[in-house]
Structure formats: C-alpha cells, structure tokens
C-alpha cells in the first residue's frame, strides 16, 4: 500500500468564504499543539469548530513534514468505519479489504503528521479508542479533533470554542461595531448573498441587536445573513424574537445538520440521553444562567430520580456543549446559548409541561427572596445582594410568569414588594413600580401582601418625586390597615413618613417615624434600622442636629452589631450630612467617604449619587473643579435611575446652592467639568470621590498639563485614547502606532475598564474635556 501526502492541501476542505476573526483561538490552539500531541476543539453545533480546524490545518500544513490529513466523520453512520475513513483520507492504496487499526497505526508510526478528525461526537467512544491507540503507537503523530464533547484520552488538551464577540451594551456606530467579529461575519455573508446590502448608521443598531439575539453563534449568523436577502435588519430582528425557526434556511449542499438551525439543534438533541434531554428542557425556563441549587430544585420537582443524579447530568450537558460553565471563587454558573434555550423550551412546550415548570422556577425565585429577607440584617447581606444581582433576569422571568397567570398575581405582588430594597440598590425604580402597577389591580383587595405592595409602591414613588401616587398609596394603605392587625400599622406609618419627608415636611415625618418605631418590637432589627436612619435624616434636615446625631449613632450601632452594610452606609451618609450642617467639613468628608467605601460591598446607585452630591457640597469652596466633576458623576447616576436630587426638597436646596456657587466660580468651565464627571462611570467616579485619583483644582489647559496629570492610564493608553477621540477604528489605531489590531483592541478594552466606561464615545468625551 502507499501514502500520497505530496499535496496535503488536497485533503483540507477548500474555503469558499472569508474566515472571520478567531485570532485568539488560532494562537492558543497552535500553542497547545506545540505542548501536546492531542488537542480537542469542543463547542455546541454551529459554533465554528470545523471552520477553525480547517483554518488551523491550512496554517500548519508546512509545519509537519508529512503534512496534514483532514478526516470528516460527520456523515459516518457506522463507527466501525472510522479507521477506513482515516485510511481513505490518507490515500492509502493497494490494500485488500478494510484496514485494521493496527495496520493504520503501523502505517503512521514513522510519519510526522497532523491528523484532523472532524465531527467526532456521534462516534465519540470509537474515536477515543482509535486516537489512544494511534498516539501510543505513533510518537510523531499529532491529532486535532472537533466534537461537541471531549474524547477524555490521556494527554488531551481541550479548547472550548466560544461564540464570536458581540458589541457590548452602549456600543454605537458602524466603525465601533465592525471591530466585533460577529458583526463582521454577518455583514460579510450578507454582502456576498446580496451585493446591494450595506451596513450603515441607519441599520447598525438592528444589526448589533441581531448579533446579540443570536449570541454571536457563527452558524446562526450565517443563516441570518440568508434572510437579509429579503428582509431588512429591523424586520429580521422582529422575526428572531423567540423564533429560532426563522433560521431554518441555509445553503444548498451544506451538511444536513448545518442547513438549518433546527437540524443542528436536533443533531445535538439526538446525541443526549433521555435524562439529559429532560434536563435540557427543564433548564430552558431559566434566563441569564443558573446555579446548581436552582437546577436541583427544579429537577426535584420534575423527577426525584433525575435530581439524585443531577450533578452527573449537568456535567454531561457541559461536556456535550449544551451548557457552558463559568466558575468563580464561590459558585459555578451554567448558561445556555439562546437558540439552545429556545429549542429546549419548544421541547418543554411539546411535552405539555411548560406552565408547571415555569411555576417551579417561580417558586425557586420566591424562596430565594424569602431567604434573602431572613439573611438581610447580617454579615451575609453583601452575598445576598450579589446573588440577587446574578439572578436578576430569573427574577424578572418569575415576575412575568406571575403576571401571565392571573391566579398567581398575589405571589407576584409579594415578590415585587420584597424586591423594593434591591430596586433601590439597582436604581430600577421605574421597572419595579411597573411590576407593582401590574399586580396591585390583579391581587386580592385585602391582607398583608397588599399592604406590603402598597407601601413598596409609596417608597418608590416618593424616591422618583411622584408625590400624587405616593399620597394615593398612603391613603389606600391607611384604609387597609384598619382591617388588619394594629401591630402592622407601623408599616404604613413608616411609608407615610418617607412620603412627607420628600414633601419637605420634616416635623411631620419625625412624628411619623417616632410613631413607627414605637410600634416596632425590638426584635424587628431590619425595620428599626431603616426607620432610625430615616428619622435621623429628618432630624438633620429639620435642623435638630443633636437629635439627629443620637438617632444615627443608635442606627449605626444596630447595623454594626448585626454585620449589616446597606443601612449602615446610609446612616454614615446622613451622619456626614449632619456634620457638614454643623460646619465640620473634614468630619463630613470622612463620614461620606466611609459610606462610599462601605457601599462598595453593595454597590447601591442611589447612595453613590448621594455621596457624590454631598462631597461636592463639602468641597465647593476649597476645590470647585472637583466639586463640579462630582456633580457630573451624580448627574449620570440620577439619569440612569430615572430620578433626580430634586425629588427631595431638603436636598434639592443644598444641590442648587452648590451649583450656583460653582457656576459663579468656574464660569464656562463648570459645564465642561460636569461633562467629565458624567463620563467617568460609577467605578472611576467612586475612586475619584475617595481621593484615589487626585482631584484637580483646575481643568488642564494644555496637552503638557494633561500629560502630567496622574491618571489610571499608561502612556500608550493615553495615545490610544487620543486616536479614539479622532474617530479611528482599532485597525486604524494599529496602523498609526505600528501595533497589531488585537493589541489596539486590548488597549481600548483596558481604557474602558479603568475609566468605568461602556463606549468609545465616553472615551472621546473624557479626553476632549481634559484637553479643553
């Protein structure tokens, strides 16, 4: 028999379209192949494993004296024919009958060759056996394989192929968007199929959203491009909402499993066991990911036997690329690509179990909120908030389940009320008020659940300055309280106290908060701490500074004793405000900065805005530039939350006085500095407020002064920021600075991270203002 490897390129599939992106993948896999003789590319179907393997094969064919042999196993129906398929690809001739594995190994033993085995998943066990034998027998053989799961052979290096990068939230403009591989791939394929198609400022927003909806999955993007022959990007986006079937169109001649998204998904589905298919369907009710306790909860409701082996089934779904896993110090979080999730949801619907599974998911979210309340007044509070933040999309999905099923409205109202503090922390006042508005008319007209819902609505309305709705909520809650246990009246009394505080009636609010405290038992530590903090604020804004100090000291002592952070940070802020009112500016700055430091555990947007405001008031006379910058940082957060300092008359007057003073001192420079603060982003603004980046007494007036001003950026990052300001793309920056486009991209990502920005436009605004 003979081996023909003289023209190894004949064995590698020809490429008919441009290979887009994957620079990091190419580099890392080449590095792996230099360190190991077996590298496996894993990932879900359509993620681009084969295309990456083909590109690697072309790049590496000269690196192996005997070339590269590409073996496609996708259409192989009989696992016993793997060795024969490999021999055929190797062009082994003159052999009577099927070749045996020992004969194949003997043939490869003297050769230094890269063997690429593509699409191993449906014959994974036999592939693993063959590869193990060949690697033991052929010391100079290297193997690159692709599959939806690893071979699990000794010495195997696994590289998980991820979706293409999609533009982050806030990315704007054609130039910025086309730096991302997902956009580039969609645009390239659409242009090839419809030459008149053009990416423009008019359609780029829809194109970016299409890439996000499809999670950057290459096959999905390729199939979406086919639709762009007849649909505009906006029309395609509408078609794609919860309809992965819109991608059931492809290219003639492509493998059946890649000709439509449903075929690709069905191929993966068929490779799963019955238990794995069941779990895939069940987990489709989760949004934004899930962790093992949640998975186990839903699995146990569906099938106790499934729950007993759920860890093994989850691991198998990860191995088969149905789930991806993100590990952190405390937890592992599992996710599904959106098209995979939608396929699972379709299977769940067909089984008739969608509604009940959604309720199990809702029950888990409701239990999470109940447990969060139990742990709130403790040192675990920061962990509680972190978990709520991780589960925010699931909580939203659970509220949606309650809204769609009228008889679940009371549970939805209870959940929304329990999310009040989290909504304050996240600054999602408008969204949570929307949920309360949905559930209150649907829920029963009496009972404590309604009372909690009404009082939560009063809180959020007051914080947004909606005094009419807050007053109506107090009125209804008062009527409801008459039919309830008198011990519960403290709740509406506290809510009314907050309402009148935001009306500027501090004398009345003090009376109400004192009354609420009298109705609270000592064991109600959370409620007492919140009411003490609010009472201390009203004392201070009403000019009763000594009473304010004593009340806030009691609040802070309670929070310190329990390990609580959120109310403590507000207590510190109120105490700082009282110190400033007494004329003790250094103590005020110390307390407010301590509040901001404590808030790093919770990341409360409202408190951050209040801290930036208070520090601006304190520093207006001694560092007007820093004060103006801090007001700008606060403005950005108020806009994000859909609220303003004007919602509180007591604080609004202090803000207006500070702003008037700064406008007089800084003249036209006030607006520029305010823009600088608004562009900082929350993290960078907090560092600035804490003095971790030196406040400037005046804005830089020249390039030299700007260069000498200490910042978080390196010299090279300053250069890149300047070119971003000029409107250059990453490719243009790379050409100008004689660096690679990937290095330029890394510099831009570092600048965004260090400054807490989300878009290149923010970098440009920041840099331009520093030059002003």
For 432, 441, 455, 501, 507, the CA distances from 470, given in Å and listed in that order, are 14, 16, 9, 12, 18
When mean pLDDT is compared across 158-172, 284-298, 547-561, the lowest value belongs to 158-172
Across 335-359, b (16+ Cβ under 10 Å) vs e yields bbbbbbbbbbbbbbeeeebbeebbb
What confidence tier does 9 reach under pLDDT thresholds 50, 70, 90? very low
Burial, 251: exposed, middle or buried (Cβ in 10 Å; 0-12, 13-18, 19+)?
A: middle
508, containing H or E segment = helix 506-518
Element (H, E) at 414: helix 409-418
| Helices then strands, each counted (H, E), the chain | 40, 8
Q: Rounded to a whole number, what is the largest CA-CA distance in the chain?
A: 102
Residue 381 — φ and ψ, nearest 5°? Answer: -60, -45
Tokens of 206: 């829809």
- What number is the average pLDDT over the span 147-157? 89
Residue-wise burial string across 438-447, b where 16 or more C-beta atoms lie within 10 A, e elsewhere: bbbeebeeeb
Would you say residue 523 has pLDDT above 60?
Answer: yes
pLDDT at 267 over 80: no
Q: Which residues contact 642 (CB under 8 A, 6 or more apart)?
A: 427, 429, 430, 464
Contact 562, 591 (CB under 8 A): no
> Does residue 5 have a pLDDT over 50?
no
Query: 215, 336 in Cβ contact below 8 A?
Result: no
DSSP string, 631-669: HHHHHHHHHHHT--GGGSHHHHHHHHHHHHHHHHHHTTH
Q: At what angle do helices 218-227 and 233-240 cross, to 10 degrees?
A: 120
What's the mean pLDDT in 723-744?
Answer: 78
Report the C-alpha gap between 151 and 157 in whole angstroms: 10
Per the prediction, the chain carries an average pLDDT of 86
- Kindly report, residue by residue over 200-211, the tens digit of the pLDDT: 888 888 888 888
**pLDDT on residue 189:** 86
91 compared with 415, residue with greater pLDDT = 415
Of 215-229, 304-318, 450-464, the poorest mean pLDDT is in 215-229
The whole-number average pLDDT for the span 379-385 is 94
Distance CA 516, CA 106 (A): 87
Q: Is the pLDDT of residue 258 over 70?
A: no
Residue 472: its H or E element: helix 467-481
Q: What is the per-residue pLDDT for 703?
A: 37
Contact assessment for residue 518 and residue 528, using Cβ atoms and an 8 Å cutoff? no
What's the pLDDT score for residue 709?
35
Q: Compute the average pLDDT of residues 362-376.
A: 95
The token duo for 255 is 């493998």
Of 271, 228, 268, 269, the C-alpha closest to 247 is 228
DSSP character at residue 245: G
| Average pLDDT value for residue range 712-738 | 79
Which SS3 state, helix, strand or coil, does residue 18 take? coil
Strand order in the sheet with 332-335: 290-291, 332-335, 324-327
Beta-carbon contacts of 422 under 8 Å, excluding residues fewer than 6 positions away, are 385, 388
User: How would residue 91 be classed by pLDDT, with cut points 50, 70 and 90?
Assistant: confident
The reported pLDDT for the residue numbered 19 is 87
More confident residue, 379 or 643: 379
Contact present, 64 and 112 (Cβ < 8 Å): yes
Q: Could you tell me the pTM of the whole model? A: 0.76
Of residues 764 and 697, the one with the higher pLDDT is: 764
- State the DSSP code for 695: P
Residue with tokens 């970016």: 208
Per DSSP, 247 falls in state G
CA 575 to chain CA mean position, Å: 35
CA angle 426, 428, 430 (to 5 degrees): 165
Q: Reply yes or no on whether the pLDDT at 194 is more than 90.
A: no
DSSP at 141: E
For residue range 648-670, what is the model confidence (pLDDT) as tens digits?
888 999 999 999 999 999 888 88
Residues 84 and 91: their CA atoms lie apart, in Å, by 10
CA-to-CA distance for 231 and 451, rounded, in angstroms? 50
Could you say which DSSP state residue 739 is in? -
């Amino acid at each position: 028999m003979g081996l023909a490897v003289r023209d190894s390129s004949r064995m590698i599939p020809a490429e008919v379209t441009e290979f887009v992106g994957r620079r990091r993948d190419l580099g890392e896999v080449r590095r792996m192949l230099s360190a190991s003789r077996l590298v496996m590319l894993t990932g879900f179907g359509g993620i681009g494993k084969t295309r990456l393997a083909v590109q690697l094969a072309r790049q590496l064919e000269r690196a192996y004296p005997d070339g590269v042999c590409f073996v496609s196993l996708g259409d192989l129906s009989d696992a016993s024919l793997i060795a024969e398929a490999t021999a055929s690809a190797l062009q082994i001739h003159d052999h009577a009958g099927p070749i045996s594995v020992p004969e194949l190994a003997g043939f490869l033993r003297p050769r230094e060759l890269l063997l690429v085995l593509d699409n191993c998943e449906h014959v994974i066990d036999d592939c693993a056996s063959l590869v193990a034998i060949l690697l033991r027998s052929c010391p100079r053989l290297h193997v690159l394989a692709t599959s939806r799961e690893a071979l699990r052979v000794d010495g195997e290096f696994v590289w998980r192929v991820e979706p293409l990068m999609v533009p982050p939230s806030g990315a704007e403009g054609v130039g910025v968007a086309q730096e991302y591989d997902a956009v580039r791939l969609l645009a390239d394929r659409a242009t090839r199929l419809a030459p008149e198609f053009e990416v423009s400022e008019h359609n780029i927003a829809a194109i970016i959203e299409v890439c996000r909806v499809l999670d950057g999955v290459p096959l999905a993007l390729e199939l979406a491009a086919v639709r762009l022959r007849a649909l505009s990007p906006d029309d395609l986006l509408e078609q794609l909402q919860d309809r992965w079937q819109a991608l059931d169109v492809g290219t003639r001649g492509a493998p059946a499993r890649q000709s439509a998204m449903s075929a690709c998904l069905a191929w993966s589905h068929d490779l799963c066991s019955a238990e794995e298919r069941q779990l895939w369907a069940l987990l489709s009710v989760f949004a934004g990911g899930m962790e093992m306790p949640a998975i186990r909860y839903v699995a146990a409701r569906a099938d106790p036997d499934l729950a007993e082996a759920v860890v093994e089934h989850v691991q198998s779904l990860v191995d088969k690329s149905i789930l991806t896993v993100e590990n952190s110090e405390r937890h592992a979080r599992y996710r599904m690509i959106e098209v995979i999730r939608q396929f699972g949801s379709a299977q769940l619907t067909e089984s008739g179990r969608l509604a009940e599974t959604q309720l199990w998911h809702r029950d888990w979210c409701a239990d999470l909120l109940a447990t969060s309340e139990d742990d709130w007044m403790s040192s675990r509070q920061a962990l509680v908030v972190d978990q709520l933040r991780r589960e925010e999309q699931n909580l939203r999905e659970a509220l949606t389940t309650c809204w769609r099923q009228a008889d679940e409205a009371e549970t939805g109202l209870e959940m929304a009320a329990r999310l009040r503090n989290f909504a304050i922390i996240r600054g999602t006042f408008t969204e949570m008020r929307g949920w309360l508005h949905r559930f209150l008319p649907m829920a029963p007209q009496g009972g404590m659940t309604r009372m909690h819902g009404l009082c939560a609505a009063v809180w959020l309305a007051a914080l947004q300055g909606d005094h009419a709705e807050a007053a109506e909520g107090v009125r209804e809650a008062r009527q409801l309280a008459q039919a309830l246990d008198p011990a519960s009246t403290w709740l509406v009394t506290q809510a009314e106290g907050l309402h009148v505080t935001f009306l500027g009636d501090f004398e009345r609010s003090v009376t109400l908060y004192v009354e609420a405290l009298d109705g609270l038992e000592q064991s109600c530590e959370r409620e007492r701490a919140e009411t003490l903090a609010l009472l201390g604020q009203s004392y201070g804004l009403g000019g009763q500074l000594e009473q304010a100090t004593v009340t806030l000291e009691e609040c802070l002592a309670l929070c310190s004793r329990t390990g609580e952070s959120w109310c403590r940070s507000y207590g510190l802020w109120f105490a700082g405000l009282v110190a400033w009112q007494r004329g003790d500016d250094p103590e005020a700055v110390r307390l407010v900065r301590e509040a901001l430091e404590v808030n790093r555990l919770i990341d409360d947007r409202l408190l951050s805005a209040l801290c930036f405001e208070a520090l601006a008031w304190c520093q207006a006379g001694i560092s007007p530039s820093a004060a103006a910058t801090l007001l700008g940082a606060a403005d950005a957060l108020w806009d994000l939350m859909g609220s303003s300092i004007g919602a509180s008359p007591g604080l609004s007057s202090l803000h207006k006085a500070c702003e008037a003073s700064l406008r007089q001192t800084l003249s036209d420079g006030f607006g520029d500095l305010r823009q600088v603060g608004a562009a900082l982003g929350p993290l960078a603004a907090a560092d600035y407020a804490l003095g971790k980046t030196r406040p400037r007494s005046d804005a830089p007036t020249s390039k030299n002064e700007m260069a000498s001003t200490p910042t978080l950026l390196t010299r090279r990052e300053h250069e890149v920021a300047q070119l971003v300001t000029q409107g250059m793309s990453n490719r243009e920056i790379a050409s100008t600075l004689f660096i690679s486009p990937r290095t330029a991209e890394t510099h831009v990502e570092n600048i965004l991270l260090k400054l807490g920005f989300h878009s290149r436009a923010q970098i440009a605004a920041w840099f331009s203002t520093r030059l002003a």
